[in-house]
Structure 1
């Protein structure tokens, strides 16, 4: 029973991590774009 690890929990964890990573990148890109717009 303990040998049978559920891949579902791994995928949900990975998906949550990936979503947070993508959100961080999106926020950084938006911040850089706003900085360029304000500076120019």
Structure 2
């Protein structure tokens, strides 16, 4: 796994990436489920 410095941005080629949903959001709203693979 590569770790990027805080000042570096991740360049992505597809706008449909699924990022993990923060655990605090999942706990606060039981309807929200984590994205697959996280």
Identify the TM-score tier after normalising by the shorter chain: under 0.3
Q: Max radius of gyration: which structure?
A: 1
Give the structure with the higher percent helix: 1
TM-score with structure 2 length normalisation? 0.24
Which protein has greater RCO, CA pairs closer than 8 Å, 6+ apart? 2
